Chains A and B, each alone.
Chain A
Amino acid sequence: MIRIFVVDDHPIIRKALRSLLENESDIHICGEAATAQEALESLPQANPDLVLVDISLPELGGIELVRILRIRNPGLPAAILSGHRDGFVKQALDAGANGYILKGNSDDLPEAIRQIVKGKQYLSPEISV
């Protein structure tokens, strides 16, 4: 069972993600946070296999959170969830993100999660670096 921790400031997105991923038999949402600070506090207890981070978080941005996670939890993969097709991809990857997943095409999300957990880097097909 792949344990996913979701960090997104929009409750709708968190709810929709939970609802969508629950359909996947091998994926389980083990925790969620609305801010980077919350995530850092909750992550140790949640013990996820992957952190999905929205790029636009209040206060500390998603890419910064990924950078911190790289230092604190180097073995814990983190992927960026973003509505921006370009402009931030390189930054995210340079920060250590294992994947850059575009919002708006949820068909790809479960497979993206699986690939990243396996240790592969995932970029949504529509991405331009």
Chain B
Amino acid sequence: MSGVESFIEFLHIPSLVLTDEMHIRSVNEAFCSQFQLARNDCLGQRFNDLENGLWDSPELHHLLEERLEDENAVHDCEIRQAIDQTGERILLISACRVGDGRHTLIMAQDITQQRQYEELLRERESRYRSLFETIDEGFCVFEVLFEGEKPIDYRFLETNPGFDKLTGLHGAVGKCIRELRPQHEEHWFQIYGQVAVTGKPLRFTQQAKHLGGRWYDVYAFRIGPAEQRQVAVLFDDITEKKKAQEILRESEERFRAVAELVPDLLWRSDPDGKSTWYNQRWMEYTGQTRVQAAGYGWIDVIHPDDRSRSLDNYERAVRTGQPLQQEHRIRRHDGVYRWFLVRAEPVRDVEGKILHWFGAATDVHEQRAAVESLEWRVEKRTRQVRRLAYRLTMAEHKERQRITRVLHDNLQQLLYGVEMRLRKVSQSLLATQDKMSGLLDETNRWVREAILTTRNLTTDLCPPALEKDELGDALRWLKRQMKELHGLEIDIDKQSCLSIQDNELRILLFHSVRELLFNVVKHAGVNRATVRLEEDEKYSIIHVIDDGCGFNAAEVTGGEEDVSGFGLFSIRERLRLIGGYVEIHSTPGYGTHIQIRAPRDRAVQGTR
């Protein structure tokens, strides 16, 4: 026995020797250490009583007292034992009778960790298995077969359902690919052979013509020892994606072909507005390189006067996602600026998110020049018309003055002379011939009437008050005239004055006011009007106001001609020429208020 006891002392396996009464005769260090027991506490103890009976399990009992009785030795019996300090243990018990047969040698291998690892492994394998069984991707493990150093085939060892689905190969395990697909391309063998030999994983996309021409994204890596030449492959069918890419590529090619054909300057920008592409036309026109034009480089070729506005509009479009349309000048490679109509539209995905902006610039320089030329010609003609209207007023006045002179200097003087002579003749005949005297008196009356008529005519044609600077005096004269001749009462303040030194302007204003007062007589249906004179910083202002029937100002003044005979168009155009204007406020039934404004420091446009 001492031999056995000495032997177990050297064992790393926890061991002890029991007497026939199941008392511990000897125990090795490995057992004490494994189960955290003191040797002295063990020796002499009943085995089953160790640790307050924790070793007293039915399984152990059966093993040591019954099976051992029958079999003399038991090997590798797995016992699960609850050990207080160390928790549950799984022990692999081997026991045999030793010595004289009355002693029992027990070796207890602790395989708890081993069993745990195994359990863990099983769980993991189960999880991975579940993963492999359920993933859409294909997975397989195969052994690469070589002829010498040349890979010639591979045999499937394991496949998942995804493999079957993606390749169309069913029941591949245990079979070689050449068996399943004799025409399988050579490059597959090369690739997998390389992985098997080098151990370096490979990622690639490849078409398998003999698997329906499908495209695969493949990740291949070696598993197991190198000599086993086993490769695992994880792959995905990207045939549809490839088709979509091809369609996109073809679409891009078509787009680029069109983009290079059209005469417009085209570009594309990312959702943030930074340009990412220009067509060749842009490069040729601007002389920019792609690098120069990238991002916001296009700003450099926009005319400085247009730059700020263009950039603001563009940034607003990018911010709001709204299409853009504007015109600005773009510099040509030779430095000349030309007008372009610029449009940009967002391109969105199915969810409405902007993918990029697409823009086009169309050369509209010739059209714009034509429009500007036309506008300039219209403006020029309008100025000519205004000048003519103004000159007409002056010519009219000059003619009045001429007629007045003729009347006054010639006709009237003759009439005065005739009148005086007739008076003398009448006086001479008075005593002798009553009848003749009567005839002469009558003739004298006719002459006086003629004198009165010519006198009124000269005054009307050329009011003497108009010769003075003070327009108020001329208007007060006009007030008397309008009352006498047309029964129109005019309220004009006696003190009201407006000094207009410019002769032509004074004449223009006078005749304008007279025209407006004639309108009151002819159209307003009232016999009273107000004339008010004032000045502000910029203008001399005359108000002509009545409470008459009013009129629709827009209808009367909006047209190109005086459709109603109001003369307002003419007054307006003549005033415009000198930098003045007319304000007309009138509503049918609510009277009329017209303001004539003439610049106080007026410059006559183009009349000098």
Contacts and interface: CB of A to CB of B under 8 A. Distances in A.
B563 interface: no
B448 interface: yes
A87 B465 contact: yes
A127 interface: no
A20 B458 contact: no
B455 A13 contact: no
Contact of B416 (A16, A86, A107): A16
A15 B420 CA distance: 10
Contacts, number: 72
A15 B421 CA distance: 9
Interface in A12-66: 12-13, 15-17, 19-20, 23, 56
B477 A86 contact: yes
Contacts of B480: 86, 128
A73 interface: no
A115 interface: no
B412 A103 contact: yes
A88 B415 CA distance: 21
Residue among B414, B424, B427 with most chain A CB within 10 A? B424
Q: Interface majority SS on A: helix, strand, loop or mixed?
A: loop
B116 interface: no
A84 interface: yes
Interface string B416-434: 1101110110011000000
Given A10-B413, A104-B452, A83 B477 contact: no
Given A56-B408, A83-B412, A86-B464, A16 B455 contact: no
Interface string A64-96: 000000000000000000011111100000000
B409 interface: yes
Contacts of B477: 86-87
A86 B452 CA distance: 13
A13 B413 contact: yes
Interface string A107-129: 10000000000000000000010
A19 B464 contact: no
A128 B479 CA distance: 13
A13 B417 contact: yes
A19 B424 contact: yes
Residue among A15, A56, A86, A88 with most chain B CB within 10 A? A86
Contacts of B409: 10, 56
Contact of A103 (B416, B459, B463): B416
A105 B579 CA distance: 48
Contacts of B419: 16, 104-106
Interface of B: 408-409, 412-417, 419-421, 423-424, 427-428, 448, 451-452, 455, 458-459, 463-465, 477, 480
